[in-house]
Structure 1
Amino acid sequence: MSVEQDRALSRALAERVKGAGGRVYYVGGCVRDALTGTPCKDIDLEVYGVTPAALRGMLEELGAVVEKGASFGVLGLRHSDLDIAMPRTERRTGDRHRDFDVAVDPFMSTREASRRRDFTINAMMQDVLTGEITDHWGGREDLERGVIRCVSADTFPEDALRVFRAAQFAARFDASIDPDTLALCRGIDVRALARERVFDETCKALMKADRPSVFFYRLREMDHLREFFPEVEACAGIEQSPVYHPEGDVFTHTMLVTDQAARLRDRAKHPLWFMLSALLHDLGKCVATTVEADGRITSHGHEVLGLELVETQLRRLTSEAELIRYVLNQTELHMRPNMLAARGSRKARTRAMFDLSVCPEDLILLSKADASGKLDKPYDPAYEQWLNERLSDYRECIARPMVTGQDLIEAGVKPGPDMGRMLKRARQLHFGGMEKKAVLRQVLKENSEFGIRNSEA
């Protein structure tokens, strides 16, 4: 169901609630996003002044009612993305996400109900029918000033995820974090958080912020980067050659690359995976960096030596196998595109790189972000053009019919080492511009001659 349809349902519900003496408000992110002109995909409603039974009856008039968050009293309608709740108080009873004692009170004041919200920018409410905004905590002013401020110092620490949400919103809105809120965040123990929740906030920062680096800088400022991103934090203080990296240490370079990648993510085939590759591509420098006798700083082989660190960091956040495979592949190959472009290498070299890459288009973008993440070292756009031309040639060759193992079997070749050698040779001839039938004749001829030579030997 579209957002427009959900808003129509919201108004239909609000009319029914109004008839019973109550009010319905838009709450949370949809109010914040409306004020910033950001498209809102998810609509949350809070219903005041009617009993839970009465609310359910009104919803049943609009469609099939579904329980969306039973422990928090959240309802919805089938085929709709609306989240519909009543005012409530929450008291934490344990370390798990749902360990809260929830008390629903439909006649609670809007001020008391909004007090449980995390940040002032998320505590605003808007009457569904009149459009009137209720802002008890100064959220509108904080939004305009670019400040992330908690609503209540008493309730804020009850959910440790708010540490990561503070950093995520700071990145997303290019905002500062209120000093008192920052101090609260420093004192919160985040170790019991489920990795899925942390990863979700990380993804929002990587995908929605113009400068995702702010997320990681703020976490580091709070002393909370190390719990879920120790491999990333380890990049701080790892020196780089000032000749190639005048920007500073590996952490600084990584943050610059991540921000550059954010400018390119809309062009990526796999935007989130691409962003994670930008974040993790240089972890190997933590183990590969050495200072030579002449004072030169080198990190030879870091793209391979860092693969174990990259996988460890990723598995701390997710078990998604395809994602992990992609990021490892991007990391291992990230040095090659610009190196080959700078040398004007033969097509065979770029072809070998594209053969190894799970997504050559994204690999080229990563190399661009990497090269752009250096102060006073502008990226040469001719590199990207050269690489894309090579990739276009590669794609055209791949699209043409090629000799397969089945073709060789039908020609009388038995599976084995000879077949593998013949397929490799067939690929070489194919990329040389030869048509499939001619390639098949040539490899069969060469194999026959090879067999004769071997028998004579």
Structure 2
Amino acid sequence: MEILEVVNEIEKHLLEDKKPSIYLNEAKNKGFFKIQGIEVLNELENIPQSPKHHPEGNVWNHTLLVVDEAAKYKDLSSDARVFMWAALIHDIGKEKTTMNKEGRITAYDHDRVGAEMARRMLRKISEDIVFNEKVVNLVRYHMQYLYVSKRLPFSDIKAMSENSNPEDIALLSLCDRFGRGKLSKSQKEDMLSDINKFLKQVSSTSGEEYKLIEDLK
């Protein structure tokens, strides 16, 4: 298949399927993601993650779970197409940043590195500059929930608010948190509460009022 044909099929399933993971896994197994331009998708299966934080295993397993969660919440986003592509490629930066030091697996800075990788990839498959940059910025700021909540020096509410929609960042963060192995309903409720606290903090800092995520799906 040609790259644009594969990309169109990916997008169709991202937007229409209840569980896009089914098609995505089939496409990967058929070798569709080995095409130059989107080959990073094929590498995600080979990237390990910390068992403590990611009991689901490698980055590909995590991505599939996140995409399926995103499919449930995409209608709450400001742009479903942007949101679903961001969910698919939010962790591609882990290909270049993942390190294993004496059994401790980390992927520091994968959000920033992933944003640049996303920009290069999207240029090869899309001429829509506005769409591309919206996806890039969701990838770039998808870790802000953690940074802000833990008061880490990497937090940057101002830049995040200026370059992306904080409500979309919160939604993507929620799907990212949910895409981590089997979680109980109470664990998901706690995560939802934490995400809404993040939105309230962003609102108080930026002076803008953001809509909270009301219910689990």
TM > 0.5: yes
Structure 1 equivalent of residue 44 of structure 2: 235
1:54-453 → structure 2 map (5 Å cutoff):
190=1, 193=2, 195=4, 197-227=5-35, 229-292=38-101, 294-341=102-149, 343=150, 345=151, 351-352=157-158, 354-377=160-183, 378-379=187-188, 380-393=191-204, 397-398=207-208
Amino acid in structure 2 at the alignment position of 1:340:
V
Q: Say if 2:13 and 2:23, in contact at 8 Å, map to a contact too.
A: yes
Shift in Å, 1:394: 5.1
**Structure 2 runs not aligned, ≥5 long:** 210-217
More off after superposition, 235-244 vs 385-394: 385-394
**Higher share in helix:** 2
Per-residue CA shift, 1:232-264, capped at 9, x if unaligned? Answer: 111111110101111000111111111111111
Amino acid in structure 1 at the alignment position of 2:91:
D
Q: Say if 2:166 and 2:199, in contact at 8 Å, map to a contact too.
A: no
Relative contact order: is structure 1 or structure 2 higher (C-alpha 8 Å, sep ≥ 6)? 2
Amino acid in structure 1 at the alignment position of 2:192:
P
Q: Give 3-state SS (helix, strand or coil) of 2:19's partner.
A: coil
Per-residue CA shift, 1:94-116, capped at 9, x if unaligned? Answer: xxxxxxxxxxxxxxxxxxxxxxx
Cα distance between partner residues in 2 of 1:209 and 1:253: 18
Q: Say if 1:231 and 1:309, in contact at 8 Å, map to a contact too.
A: no
In the superposition, the TM-score normalised over structure 2's length comes to 0.83
Shift in Å, 1:327: 1.4
Q: Say if 2:21 and 2:68, in contact at 8 Å, map to a contact too.
A: yes
Task: Compare CA radii of gyration and give the structure with the larger one.
Answer: 1
Shift in Å, 1:350: 6.5
Cα distance between partner residues in 2 of 1:374 and 1:325: 27
Q: Give 3-state SS (helix, strand or coil) of 1:334's partner.
A: coil
Q: Where do 4+ consecutive residues of structure 1 move more than 4 Å?
A: none
Q: Say if 1:258 and 1:278, in contact at 8 Å, map to a contact too.
A: yes
Q: Say if 1:198 and 1:317, in contact at 8 Å, map to a contact too.
A: no
Per-residue CA shift, 1:187-235, capped at 9, x if unaligned? Answer: xxx2xx362x443322211111011111211112222221263111111
Cα distance between partner residues in 2 of 1:353 and 1:247: 32
